[in-house]
Amino acid sequence: MPVSQAQGSDGYRFLVRPNCALSWRATKRVLLFFTACFAVLGAYFAALGAWLVLPFAGLELFVLVAGFYLSALAGHTREVIEVEGPVLRVLRGGRRLTEVASLPANWTRVELRRDPRGWYPSRLLLRCHGKGLEVGSKLVEAEREQLAVELGDSLGFGRPHVAPSLPGTGTADSTRDRTRRAAGSDLMSGTPLGSDGARAAGCASGACINE
């Protein structure tokens, strides 16, 4: 599973992995098979007198092994998103994880940016105070959308906010409009809202107000 979720008494934990078809053990078996094939072919041509085949076969084998190794190394990286009380942490790495961000969970909203033309993959952002951190970049579309919904539920904002991925499309304006509508609905009900009330209404509607 590229995305796995664990819920404990202290919060949520999402483990995100890239799509990797081969395990490390299977990768080593494939490399041993190709090594044997290159060795047999090289020995055959060397026996016929074409010994110049050997260095080229060795170079091809080196490139093949390097490609498989780098692919396996990239496929076994991890991205961990932890929501523990008021703190949201993002960690990345392979065997050892390194914390790359620590955000206030109550002020963080999930935003899924899609290309209106459908030419480029979507981007999943954790936005807070005008800054965004991209997560799940190595997932396919369906997995990224599933992660966005689960993150929104864990943060208490429900479905993620969907915005165009092109610059200058008015994402900040739409956030302000949603905040004004939330504030206006409370004013219609006869409950005045100050700055703290508008901020609470914005967070309840799933928008993180940038100060």
- CA 79, 153, 82, 203 torsion: positive or negative? positive
Q: Please report the pLDDT score of residue 62 as a whole number.
A: 94
- Cβ neighbours of 128 (radius 10 Å): 19
Q: Please report the pLDDT score of residue 159 as a whole number.
A: 58
Q: Over the stretch 92-109, which tens digit does the pLDDT of each residue have?
A: 888 788 888 888 888 888
Mean pLDDT for back-to-back runs of 10 residues, the chain (211 residues) = 66 82 85 92 90 90 92 83 87 84 87 85 87 86 87 73 55 44 41 40 40 37
What's the predicted TM-score (pTM) here?
0.57
Coil/strand/helix, residue 132: strand
